[in-house]
Amino acid sequence: MKIEDLTKEFIQIRHFLHENAELGFKEFKTSAFIKEKLIEYGFSVINVGTSLIASMKKNTSTKKIALRADMDALLIKEKNTFSYSAKGDVMHACGHDGHSASLLMAAKYLAQSNFDGTLILIFQAAEECVDENGLSGAQNLVNSKIYQDLNADFIFGYHNMPSMQMPNNKELFFLKKGVMMAGCLSYECEFIGVGGHSSQPNLCKNPINSLAKFISKINEIKLKNSVLSVVGVSSDSKAYNIISSSASCKISIRILNNDDALILQDSLKQIAKTLQDEDEITIKLNCIENIPATVNCDKAQEFAFNVACEIFGKDKCTQNHEHLMGSEDFSSFLLKTSGAYAFINNSNSANLHTSKYDYNDDILELAAKYYISLVLKYLKP
């Protein structure tokens, strides 16, 4: 069987996934559909929530390679008018339908190929959101015993990327040494004081005054490779003659170095503790999400780049580009398993996370070939 013989079938599967887009942690139909196909191809499949971990061992080698695709969509009403446009108010505006379809295509081909070792396929839930514990789909998987016991040598994944985000329109494939994408921390900070009549501030512990001092102090934290933004403030104030008893602010932090996350978290805690004591109020720092920076391992990225040069053509691949300030929870796998994350040019499409986005069917076959080649080269019989 030639890889190209599968392309039409998997473009149709991509369209089916697109039409039936589901939100993170709720990919029930998507996950069931993919699971059924994987079992049909001969993989062993285990569910971790709606995420799937599939594996297949051939011959005797103890080598193990993992490939990952995400499956979730976004709460955006699609404005494209394709025959396969999303049925509901949720759409694949990040192209995860293409990630899943291309990995499934590779799965079908590899199941019929000869390799020596263990192939692990991860169809991951919820790249775009976190659960009530503040953990994304990848973080839930990485914490699971099933993933830890697999102990893969390497893990690889990719994201489709509009050409406006690529180094230039000519490049089809991009990855780099070290940090590919920023990490992201989100905090909701609550200030609980004592409210009262606005004519008697001396009888109150005004949480808004403490909040103002807090914002001023955290804006003084300067780390070379990070940015901190206060993105929203609110209070329960309803009238001019009432001092609120509570106030809050939302903070977004982007980091390029995972050690910076710890430094920033400590600084926030220290500033909050000092203010809490000085102003005699209560400050609660609620970490909503903590996605690490995506940092490629040198060996894995070199291997992936050489594979990509064969698939996409040497002149269509680059390692020469800046990191992106967006975040990606593939980073959590990279904290446990050596690996590399890459971008594949989606051409001159609408931007990600917009109602006109669509994964480009022209890259599906190339992406599947990239996955296939990574496996056949690493688990060479």
- Contact positions toward Zn ion, by CB under 5 A? 94
As a whole number of angstroms, the distance between CA 214 and CA 211 comes to 5
**Identity of the residue, 109 or 343, whose beta carbon is nearer to Zn ion in the bound complex:** 343
Query: In the complex, what is the shortest distance from the CB of residue 154 to Zn ion, in angstroms, rounded to a whole number?
Result: 21
Query: In the complex, what is the shortest distance from the CB of residue 325 to Zn ion, in angstroms, rounded to a whole number?
Result: 14
Q: In 3D, which of 363, 173, 205, 182 has the Cα closest to residue 279?
A: 205
In angstroms, the Cα distances linking 240 to 140, 222, 236, 358 are 46, 36, 12, 49
**Identity of the residue, 171 or 329, whose beta carbon is nearer to Zn ion in the bound complex:** 329
Query: In the complex, what is the shortest distance from the CB of residue 96 to Zn ion, in angstroms, rounded to a whole number?
Result: 6
Query: In the complex, what is the shortest distance from the CB of residue 140 to Zn ion, in angstroms, rounded to a whole number?
Result: 17
Query: In the complex, what is the shortest distance from the CB of residue 46 to Zn ion, in angstroms, rounded to a whole number?
Result: 24
Between strands 117-124 and 246-255, the pairing is unpaired
Cβ(114)–Cβ(58) below 8 Å: yes
**Identity of the residue, 94 or 110, whose beta carbon is nearer to Zn ion in the bound complex:** 94
**Identity of the residue, 94 or 308, whose beta carbon is nearer to Zn ion in the bound complex:** 94
**Identity of the residue, 210 or 360, whose beta carbon is nearer to Zn ion in the bound complex:** 360
Residue with token string 């490629």: 296
As a whole number of angstroms, the distance between CA 181 and CA 341 comes to 9
Cβ(98)–Cβ(363) below 8 Å: yes
- The contacts of residue 270 (CB under 8 Å, 6+ apart) are none
Residue whose C-beta lies closest to Zn ion: 94
Cα dihedral across residues 315, 317, 320, 321: positive or negative: positive
Enter the tokens of residue 192.
Answer: 């609980």
**Identity of the residue, 264 or 367, whose beta carbon is nearer to Zn ion in the bound complex:** 367
Query: In the complex, what is the shortest distance from the CB of residue 173 to Zn ion, in angstroms, rounded to a whole number?
Result: 17
